[in-house]
Amino acid sequence: MRTIILVCIYFAVILLIGFFAGRRTKDMSGYMVGGRNLGVWIVSLGIMAAVMSGWTWLGNPGSAYSGGYSSVITYTAFSPLGLVISYFIIAKPVRIISEKFNCYTLADILAARWNDNKTIRFLCGIIILIGSATYLVSQWVSMGTAVQEALGTGYRQSVIIGAVIITLYIIAGGMLASMWTNFIQMIIMFFVAGILVVAGFAAVGGFTSMNEQIAAIEPQMISPWHAGDGGLAMSFVLTYTVFMLAIAYGGQPAVNTKFMMIKDKKLLKWSPFISVIALIVGTFTVYVGIQGRILVEQGILAPPERQDTILLDVISHIIPGELTDLFLIAILAAVMSTAESYLFTSSTSIIQDLAIKSFDIKMEDHKVLMLTRVTMAVIAVITVIISLSPPPLIALIGTQAFGTFCAGFGPVLYLGLRWKRMSSRAAVAGMSVGLLGGGIFPIINKLLFDGALLSNWTIGGLAVVASYAVTIAVTLLTKAEKSKVFE
């Protein structure tokens, strides 16, 4: 009963934030980019809250439960580096362009860079739609798992409860509500993750003891890569960490669109430090998967019905009963902060980028807001229906979505916002290759070949390399174009 009360209070607070944010939102700028008037702490932690998804809190420990250090290295090792690089290369240009040319979406930024190119805008909309829809499915699956544990409801009822609450407060308050709730949710996640790291290592006798025990259970588990029994091959690990995390991390709309919202670009010099600290602490939850495997092998915990629930099983064992509610709320916060970001991003992309600006449809602001809100509800319903019978592992769903964004947007942002010579044809070619390789091919591979093609490689990582190569090649083969951004 205590858990139900606390979770309901948490949901009520989140809904109130959405309500009050909605009352403060007076125009498109307020609804879409928080009025470009947010402080460094809200932006820095808001970015990390959107990144700290159900994939991070449930999917990564689930992967580490069977894969050991191959999963730890793959999903966390290069994240801080990739985040810092994205800050230094694209944060300041995005903020300046957004204010100078009144941009609200990532498509606005890229279209402005290449003189309102409609093909680029259209490609942006498609990439965001595919990646966001996939991400949302993984978040609804995580939401169902967490709410089921918290409220004791069935999985499907849990998915619907969580989705309704998230959709309501985002419809009401827009990006301002998202950033305020992200800030609160990241604070909860930061402290809970810190406690969980300490308690988890204590439960297995410390870091050294953990490694000794897991090596005794399965020697391959301490290897940075291995292809057997749930592990990840060297080719998979390297193509994921180097090509996606290190050199295309900023392709995520949950990261790059937040750069528009800070009130003063000078404050961006502090954001990387704040965000990286939050990222490192938050992603340490991956070790819980290894710790859970040790506790299962010792007979202390029963084997999980699904790998993705190992975090919940470990929490129930190592955390005192009166504190477990706080940990469940932290997991809910992780899921909600990411789901709200991609629900908002996908709906604004459909209305702003595909419907209005790609096809030159004229519409007053109040109608745009109304259609955006209706689209959010429709997208929520569609993705919830898909998530009611989900694929088995959250980490696999998240990887596909992440690859879509990294390959589709990473190269064009990293090169295009700094390289004056890059042409619009190069941008179109690079984005198209990224979309096909990172977003569409993995789906075809899964549906037609059961994932057998390139199974030991990160397809999204290969798509990132291909996109970079095509973008550079086409730039060198085409004429330079003037850009109002650089002028």
At 139-162, the pLDDT tens digits run 888 888 888 877 778 888 988 988
Q: Which residues of the chain have pLDDT under 50?
A: 395
Rounded alpha-carbon distances, angstroms, from residue 390 to 141, 145, 161, 167, 385: 7, 11, 17, 20, 9
The pLDDT, as a whole number, for residue 245 is 93
Cα torsion at 286, 292, 294, 297 (round to 10°)? -140
Is residue 334 assigned to a domain? yes
**How many domains would you assign to the chain?**
1
Instruction: Please tell me the distance from the alpha carbon of residue 260 to that of residue 34, in angstroms, as a whole number.
Output: 9
| pLDDT tens per residue, range 111-124 | 999 988 889 999 99
The answer as to whether 479 is a domain residue is: no
The CA distance from 322 to 204, in Å, is 22
Q: Read out DSSP for 288-345?
A: HHHHHHHHHHTTSSPPPSSGGGHHHHHHHHHS-GGGHHHHHHHHHHHHHHHHHHHHHH
**pLDDT at position 392:** 53
Specify the pLDDT at position 391. 56
Residues 390, 141 contacting (CB under 8 angstroms): yes
Asked whether residue 438 is assigned to any structural domain, the reply reads no
Q: Per the domain annotation, does 360 fall within a domain?
A: yes
Q: How far apart, in whole angstroms, are the C-alpha atoms of residue 138 and residue 124?
A: 21
d(CA 73, CA 82): 14
Taking only the tens place, the pLDDT of each residue in 441-467 is: 988 887 787 778 888 899 999 999 999
pLDDT of residue 423: 94
Residue 269: CB atoms within 10 A of its CB come to: 13
Position 410 in a domain: no
Instruction: Check residue 398 and give its pLDDT.
Output: 64
Output the domain CATH number for residue 28.
1.20.1730.10
Give the per-residue pLDDT at 360: 74
Residue 290: inside a domain: yes
Whether 476 is in a domain gets the answer no
Q: For 438, which DSSP code?
A: I
CA dist 195 and 189 (Å) reads: 10
| pLDDT for the residue numbered 57 | 86
Helix (DSSP H) and strand (DSSP E) numbers for the chain? 24, 0
Is-contact 267 39, C-beta < 8 A?
Answer: yes
Residue partners of 116: CB distance under 8 A and separation at least 6: none
> Which residue segment(s) compose the domain that 296 sits in?
2-385
Tell me what pLDDT residue 228 has.
Answer: 75
Kindly state whether residue 477 falls inside one of the protein's structural domains.
Answer: no
Query: Which residue in 60, 467, 482 sits closest to 287, CA to CA?
Result: 60
